[in-house]
Amino acid sequence: MSKREKDKLVEAGWKYEDMGWYFEPQETEKPLYRLYNPNAKGAGSHHYTTSEKEKESLIAIGWNNENVAWYGLVQ
């Protein structure tokens, strides 16, 4: 969601593949949480979930909570 984060990753050598999806900016929809595994090396260190229970379980075992990444549309 952050242009600054995207730009820094591109500068670091990541390949920009354009827009991946659209999101609902209103907090009235389903939150999608982003968590970071500080013990992971390289790819796969982030995890995304809509489950509050899963988010809390990962935090309990040492993952860093990066809060709501975006809000998805509920269909």
Per-residue pLDDT at 3 = 87
Query: What does the alpha-carbon distance between residue 71 and residue 47 come to, in Å, rounded to a whole number?
Result: 15
Radius of gyration of the chain (CA): 14
Per-residue pLDDT at 24 = 59
- Its pTM stands at 0.63
* Per-residue buried b or exposed e for 21-46, using 16+ beta carbons within 10 Å of the residue's own CB: eeeeeeeeeeebbbbeeeeeeeeeee
Per-residue pLDDT of the chain (75 residues; tens, 9 = 90+): 688 988 998 999 988 888 766 665 666 678 899 999 998 877 778 999 999 999 999 999 999 999 998 887 776
Residues in the chain: 75
